[in-house]
Every structure is written in C-alpha cells, then in structure tokens.
Chains A and B, each alone.
Chain A
Amino acid sequence: MKNILGVLSIIMLLIAAPVHAEGTKDIIVKVDGMVCDFCAQSLTKIFGKEDSVNDIDVSLDDQTVTIDTKDDQDLPDEKIKELIEWGGYDLVEIKR
C-alpha cells in the first residue's frame, strides 16, 4: 500500500508541474510575422539576454518560440509580450 501511494504521489507531482529532468520549464509562445531565419535569430537573441531563460527554440513551421526557463525562475506573460513586440513581432498566445 505504501508503495502504491508513493507511486501515485510521484505521478500527481509530475502532472501538476511539467518540469524537465534538468529542472527547467517550457513556455510556448505563438508569434505572428516570423518568416525567415533573421526573424528567428532576433527573438533568440532578445530572449537569450534574459537571466531567467535557459534555452530558446524557434520553429518557423509552427510559428512558435519555445522558452525554456530556469527551474526557480519565471518569465511573466507581460514580459514575454514586451520582448516579442520589442523585437518587432506580434504575440498571438502563450501556452504554459
């Protein structure tokens, strides 16, 4: 019984907080206007300067920027919107 409860607890924790093995979190941001590598590079550079960001992945196919934040830090939606617009693009939605 203890083992079952232990396993269930771990599963519940994993569902509640989608955290990577390295302790990082992904934020998926959909952006309008990304049509080339220069666009992708712009957003990679801009988000890469943020202390809370661990890694950036841009998909031109999906028109998304996936932000990998450090486990003990967050990047608020308002900040994400500000950075997207500072780069010259339009924010569509943020998925966490």
Chain B
Amino acid sequence: MRFTLLFLSAIIAMSATAHARPVSYPGGWTLMVMNDKDKNSSHIHYSPSAKHSIGWRHDYLRDSSTHIDSVQLNNLLKRWNKPQEQANLYLKSGIGISREDGDFSPAAYTGIAADWETRRYFTSYENHFLWANNDTKHIEHKARIGVAPYIGDYGDFHTWIMLQADYDAGEQDSFSMTPLVRFFKGTTLVEAGYNLDDGILFNFVQRF
C-alpha cells in the first residue's frame, strides 16, 4: 500500500529524482523523481548542450518537514568515452528557498557526482552539501555498484541489480544500505529498493 502510494504520488505529483545522468542530449528535457527513506525530490531539467542542464528542483526533507525549491545547474566537467564503457564527472549546484514551520530562508547546495559504467557493470559516487534555514542541514555521500544479469541492445528491456550505500555525515551521522533493482527501457528508467534500516526507495526518470 505504501509503495503504491509512493508510486502514485511520484507519477501524479511529479515529486521526486534518480541516479541517472543529470545532463541529457542537446535540446532534451528530463523528469527525475526520487524517493528514499529521508526525502522526496523532483527535478525537471533542460539541456541546452550535452555538457549543461538547468532546471527546477523540489525537495521535501521528512525529518525536519522542510521544503526546498531551487534552481539547479548541472555541469558535465569531464567525460571519458571508451569502447563499451563511459565515465563521467559532474558538478551539481543549486540555490533557492527553504520553508520550515512557515519560516522561509535561503538555501544552497552543491555536490560532485561521478560514475563509470559498461553494459555489464555500474559504479557511482556522489556527495551533496546542503545549507538551509541558516544552518548546515545535510552532508550526504552516496555510492552504488550494480551488475546487469543480461546484456540487452537498444530498445530492449534492461535490468540491473544494484546496492546503494548512504552515509549522512550531518546531524544524523548515519550509514545505511539499500539493495535495489533498476528497470530501463527506451526513455524510461524505474528503480525500486528497500533500505535495510527502514524505508522504500523509488526512483523514476523520463526523458523527452
């Protein structure tokens, strides 16, 4: 039931993000929705080139009941293209307004994201430093490893089995693991997992 509600809220309210690339092809739009044990996020962005994207992002931090609306800029700092593999380094930053208990204050965040993938293996790491409500709210580190049980060609239904590690170095100082599955076909990516501490992960990405 909880999963269903999360799914519906993700699709209908377009409220949340995913671990896919933060920059699309030139002229492309991307909707990213992410829900995990700590927050719900949504991010819609436009890529004027393959190296930049700009968009709107909304985060809801469940513990502090904080809403953050921001303009986010993603930059592809470096891409390494090799036969059958690719690696990327991104800078993701945003500024906006946070709202907690009816009080508004400026918010800003930045972070580095890196990934390396082949058609069989996937690894990624990203960090996220958030300042809001005149205080440092979150310092997050997130890493993933993944393997595809079979290799599909373009247009096929792709499946990945992944393990995500989250370390919150801010107020919570917590570490948790989330096994998940990724399904990928055409322009749609869906991820679903369960955090071993508690909480469902659901991510949805649609490219246009």
Is B one of A's binding partners?
Answer: yes
Chain A residues positioned under 8 Å from B20 (CB to CB): 38
Would you call A39 an interface residue if the criterion is a C-beta within 8 Å of the partner chain's C-beta atoms?
Answer: yes
- CB distance A37 to B158 under 8 Å? yes
Quick check: B158 and A46 within 8 Å, CB to CB? no
Number of A-B residue pairs having CB atoms within 8 Å of each other in the complex: 78
* Size category, A interface: 20 to 34
B84 touches A63 (CB 8 A): yes
Contact across chains for A35 and B50 when beta carbons are under 8 A apart = no
A31 to B189, CA, bound (A): 23
Interface residues on B, range: 35 or more
Beyond A61-B153, A86-B26, A88-B79, whether A38 also contacts B207 by CB under 8 A is yes
Shortest distance from the beta carbon of A74 to any chain B beta carbon, whole Å: 23
Which positions 63-92 of chain B face chain A at CB distance < 8 Å?
76, 79-86
- Chain B residue nearest in CB terms to A91: B81
Known: A42-B24, A42-B28, A88-B25. Contact between A36 and B186, CB under 8 A?
A: no
Chain A residues with CB under 8 A of B166: none
Specify which of B26, B80, B82, B117 is in contact with A36 (CB 8 Å cutoff): B117
- Report A22 CB to chain B, min CB distance, Å: 22
Q: Is B136 an interface residue (CB 8 A)?
A: no
> Could you tell me if A36 and B50 are in contact, using CB atoms closer than 8 angstroms?
no
Partner of A33, one of B25, B76, B86, B155: B86
- B118 contacts the other chain (CB 8 A): yes
B26-A58 in contact (CB<8A)? no
A20 within 8 A of B: no
Contact assessment for B154 and A59 in the assembled complex, using a CB-CB cutoff below 8 Å: yes
Determine if A80 is an interface residue (Cβ-Cβ < 8 Å): no
On whether the beta carbons of B82 and A32 are closer than 8 Å, the reply is yes
Q: How far is the CA of A41 from the CA of B80 in the complex (A)?
A: 19
Partner of B155, one of A37, A38, A46: A37
Q: Which residues of B contact A28 (CB under 8 A)?
A: none
From B24, B26, B80, B207, name the one whose CB has the most chain A CB atoms within 10 angstroms: B26
B186→A35 contact, CB < 8 A? no
Q: Is the CB of A39 within 8 A of B86?
A: yes
Q: Once the chains are docked, how many angstroms separate the CA of A40 from the CA of B153?
A: 10
Structural contact, B84 and A35, CB atoms closer than 8 A: yes
Return chain A residues, CB-CB under 8 Å to B184.
36-37
Chain B residues proximal to chain A, CB less than 8 Å: 20-21, 23-28, 49-51, 76, 79-86, 117-119, 151-155, 158, 184-187, 189, 207
